[in-house]
Structure 1
């Protein structure tokens, strides 16, 4: 057990708040947000919002979007499977737990106003970022496409007036190395450029005992060039971005569930994965170290992304503005995987992807006295090309039934076309009351073409097998409909606002492009839209001096919910069925509270808590007959609590700022079956850092998971197939130091 001394407490923390950064001034900072596509204060908006200030994100070793969930109530992000597959975002129990590369999350994500599209593009490294906003609840008007759960808005730093820059370098444990920087250049009196970059290179905190496997780690390189020009009546913002990630994926662990695989004697869930438990083939990694695995992890990863964003704002008059946003991104990825978690070749494959997305938005806004009107048109087209294979029981070719030892090749072309029109009107009835009405009409088509081949052993003396056509399925899914919101703000006093919001959001149907083991399964792989109706009552208080409190209670009526299911095959010993189904309806309700309090000029506290007592399927029986009625939704802990204490003091003609923080999650399940083997017990992750700033220099020390707490991102159930669960381990203790110079 790692123990903290009095000295180490002063150097283990960060200075970062999910509601705001604790500014070094005499009052609580006023937070400005873009939740309604224009700048407003946090207390004006009848939406539950948490904000993360970008200047402080990297000071504590935060690398990408998947790490920010520990700072926001009722917001959980996991890497899902190994890093490089789509992350799993979950707000208040609404999320999509699916590693395959064809689906879109119900948590919409926008970077500088541009939608990122499918979940493939939701892994975003955080460098030179101004602010992140987490909008909770359905955003069915202004951020309407596929946002039943909420929206995540990332705003990068834009060019401004001046010639300046910074360079930052850091090292840490497990070969962590990072260099980041930016330079802002004034072109003339009307325009400026900004260039920023990130280079991060690291090994994983889990390690491989299989000596023949290469060291697992990732090297990530990102660059961004942006341009801003401001004339009297027109503003132009343009951005180019590029990224190149390569390495070896994180090695997966093997949680064996059998004491006696021959006779089918199982370990208890508490014993599973321990020294006396084996998979169906008698494998155990032979170590009692949680972070150790033993797997032939020669599994490369390569991602290359590129894209642009262009935004033009025309100030038609003092009260009218026209905005146009055009965006494009392309992602090429090869991601190899090992799903048996052992040195044997029992389940290995690759996810290949080419993803292109083009979006356009035209928006008109008008202010009349204190009223505000927004009208808009939206267009998106996304093309997803999958090139996947999964090699099953390679080491047993010629020994087991040829029906079980196959290689599945499953290639899909999925084209998404979406258009929408939206309107929102904010009506100031009087000084105390404000009504917001929003409506959006969306029309979406998903075309799919799924082609599969099968490599089989026709002759047991020829184990390389022959490849034959397997199935070809094509079709389309169409849906359209209305979504929107109605909200009432009551400004009780200058510092206190109450609100009620009724909102709904929809997420379109589509095609599940994961592993489809039969032609019949491929024909049934399309799914319909889901819809969520949400009631929320909240309050926001900010006395502009020493206290800020935001709280909300909510009730969700979730219908035709899309849920990824990992179900045992009806054929003994065959790979599991991986389905994406509309499960009927669910009920979700809960509450959350975020608090920021300045105890003194040098000591501040920030805390947030979420409580979701009910997040269950109402009634559902899955396609293979399993009753899931009243099962709890995956990745939804009942309690989640996080907080930070920050202390600042003048020291050696500079400022010393230290923070200690934590993130607590109560137990939750990794799939819809409430399988006790696929469950994460409650855990607390402690974090911390200290920074010293003097003049143009900043020195920092940071740490994550300080007590090396053992937890998993995902436990994927393969018990009826291989007698084990894949264990995608979380990140263990990581410590680092940073030096930054501003010029």
Structure 2
């Protein structure tokens, strides 16, 4: 059964009462204020442009200007803008990012799986998690939607959706370019050129090129300097006729370089006796891996690893958006797209100069999508219905070379070669009605039917060596596994949105999200593991209550939301110790049963004077735990906290402008705090990230057509990690994928 609410906990009820209290407060103050001169924030959260107060969805809107000012390079840096959103580069830049909204996410670095958080780039869903690293340049807006999405969006998701909207062509010649240089040999060029072609057609061409080295410092002299060169290009053609709007987009990406080197967190004081270091000591110069290695110093950003590990990405694609306006009240929208991503990403997983764990993630990912939507407005009511189709093909060319330097000494020294093909087809019908009960109250009802099939074939070989000097070895067939996962599901949404006044609303929604099952085509070290690597679908019942109000005479806007999730058969990536002593850990994607998540969010936007702007965000998730789960080895994980989920997330910024020589001098300081969280399901204190705060800012001098700025990111050089991958039972260490250290630079920008 769908649309069957779970009971609210006491905490969730308290959140609802808090939201209602805010609503009453907003109504009392709004009635005493003149609210004519409102600055309206508009979003596309419901597939049409609406005021943010009119949507019964928790949504954060981020302007393209804010992204550019804060030097946001790609989607992995969006966390600071949105409560209860966490994104990181996961297992180094170039692997699928780890995305988490309100405790729902996927931290799998393998290239075969789809995140429960969907990304839409210019109305096109990107497919699997491989495609979720998107460079953000020449953007109009980014929106983060929290909670299940499906009755309006092409592909159903349980956790939320992130909408990326490029700057559109305009009927006026113009553009911009900026150049930036900074520490760690970083340089950047971005630009856009907007050209009207006819009275009805305009073109916008944008480009971005980044060249940089990582702040992780590899002190192993034989390894090349790690860094990437990323070039991205985008062309948009827009035509507007009497009853037809056409938007064509083509894009191209070309990345190459050496991947970020991984660090080693040794856990043994004495490898011979396997006496353990404490979690606070692990990774220091007094702790070693099982082979007696550490890097020899306590500098956080220093590593010592044979990191001759190339990365290469080639991506291209095109989309066509057609909007037929049949009448003033009815339109038909068609969105067609095709994207191709080819990627090779080498890695070193022992974090040392030895050749004990190395490999490559090879990928050819093709995605075709087609969506049709009918929009109809009748009176104050609005109806959307649509069809969606996706065809995605993932071809993997992977290998993992284990204990190469011990070939001929131990039978565990093998190269695993796994070439998987995963074909996904998804078809759906969806509809949503916004029905105005009165001028103040609107009821929303939506329904979706999804049918999704995953066909897979996993073919593996192993390469063995017969003596220590045999580096060619003998390649033998290992296993071939094929199968199909077929899921279909009804899901839906009901909501009520009540206007307190023109600028303040309170809402309640219940949404039922669904994500299909699939096949975990990661590192599968045994035929049995490969046979059991498919996983089932997950569902999420999400209750949400919130209030959005604007006290515009004081230029104050506040959004408050409380949520309660009943998560069923949740798909969780698991790093599980092998039952064979000294063997590599198992990498599983398991349905862990049920989880309970609840929490709240507050966003405040305040402009006390014309020269000062303040922003504050607070996310709080006191409960995000497995209800009851025992892993395949019998380990009890009941009540363990979900991976990658902080209890507290606090962010804010202050932007202040002062006149200088007839122009403006702008100061901005912003921060993002994440409280402690675990990187896997085991709640190991070794695989835990302590709370940290990132401070960023800039000083910019603005003239009419140009500006120059001094910018900095991670100003206090905070130490934190994107991922600590636990290999302690295998190599006596954890891989440490370090977050970026302090970066700073100067930028010049010219508009024409």
Q: TM-score range by the shorter chain?
A: over 0.9
Aligned-partner Cα distance in 2 for 1:51–1:28: 17
How far, CA to CA, are the matches of 1:201 and 1:459 in structure 2? 43
Question: Could you tell me how far 1:457 is from its partner in structure 2?
Answer: 2.5
The 5 Å alignment of 1:120-159 reads 120-143=130-153, 145-159=155-169
Looking at structure 2, the residues matched to 43 and 176 of structure 1 have their Cα atoms a distance apart, in angstroms, of 41
Cα drift, residue 462 of structure 1? 3.9
Residue of 59, 67, 71 corresponding to 1:49: 59
Aligned mates of 1:488, 1:354 — CA distance in 2: 44
Superposition CA RMSD, Å? 1.2
Structure-2 residue corresponding to 1:529: 537
Q: Are 1:475 and 2:498 counterparts?
A: no
Note the C-alpha offset of 1:461. 6.5
Q: Which residue of 2 aligns with 1:498?
A: 506
Residue 346 of structure 2: aligned partner: 336
Cα distance in 2 for partners of 1:597, 1:505 equals: 34
Residues 437-474 of structure 1: CA distance to partner in whole angstroms, max 9, x if unpaired?
00010000000000000001345664532100000000
Aligned to 2:575: 566
User: How does the TM-score come out when normalised to structure 1?
Assistant: 0.95
1:266-314 CA-to-partner distances (Å, cap 9, x unmatched) read 0000100011000000000012110000000000000000001100000
From 592, 597, 607, give the equivalent of 2:601. Answer: 592
Verify the 8 A CA contact 2:407 2:467 in the aligned structure 1: no
Secondary structure, aligned partner of 1:492: strand
The counterpart of 2:285, out of the listed 260, 265, 275, is: 275
Matched residue, 1:20 = none
Which residue matches 1:19? none
Aligned to 1:222: 232
Quick check: 1:440 aligned with 2:459? no
Question: Residue 670 of structure 1 is aligned with which of 672, 675, 679?
Answer: 679
Tell me how far 1:567 sits from its aligned partner.
0.6
TM-score normalised according to structure 2 size? 0.94
Aligned residue in 2 for 1:414 = 422
Provide, for residues 388-438 of structure 1, a one-character-per-residue CA deviation record: whole Å limited to 9, x for no partner. 000000111122x21x10000001000000000000000001011100000
- 2:327 corresponding residue in structure 1: 317
Question: For each residue in 1:451-508, what CA deviation from the matched residue of structure 2 results, as whole angstroms up to 9, or x when unmatched?
Answer: 0000013456645321000000000000001111000001112221000000011111
Distance 2:38 2:574 in 1: 45
Q: How many Å apart are 1:603 and its aligned residue?
A: 1.3
* Alignment-derived partner of residue 272 in structure 2: 262
Q: Say if 1:247 and 1:302, in contact at 8 Å, map to a contact too.
A: yes
8 A contact 2:356–2:404 mirrored in 1: yes
Question: Is the deviation greater in 56-65 or in 629-638?
Answer: 56-65
In 2, Cα distance between equivalents of 1:547 and 1:410: 55
What are the equivalent positions in structure 2 for 1:304-703 lying under 5 Å apart? Answer: 304-399=314-409, 401-402=410-411, 404-458=412-466, 462=470, 464-545=472-553, 546-703=555-712
**In structure 2, C-alpha distance between the alignment counterparts of 1:218 and 1:457, rounded to whole Å:** 34
Q: Structure with the greater relative contact order (CA < 8 A, sep ≥ 6): 1 or 2?
A: 1
| 2:176 alignment counterpart | 166
- The secondary structure found in structure 2 opposite 1:145 is coil
TM-superposition CA deviations, 1:118-157 (whole Å, max 9, x none):
0000000000110000000001211252410000000001
Q: Structure 2: state its 5+ residue gaps.
A: 1-35
Aligned partners of 1:145 and 1:507 also within 8 Å = no
Query: How many equivalent pairs are there?
Result: 717
CA shift, 1:27, in A, is 6.2
Contact in 1 for aligned 2:336/2:371 (Cα 8 Å)? yes
Any idea what the Cα deviations from partners look like across 1:686-722, whole Å, max 9, x if unmatched? 1111211111111111111100010000000000000
Q: Note if 1:181 corresponds to 2:191.
A: yes
Q: Residue in 1 aligned with 2:6?
A: none
Deviations 1:159-188 (A, max 9, x none): 011111111100011111000000000001
Determine which of 223, 230, 233 is the counterpart of 1:213: 223
Alpha-carbon separation, structure 2, partners of 1:660 and 1:604 = 11
How far is 1:28 from its partner?
A: 6.2
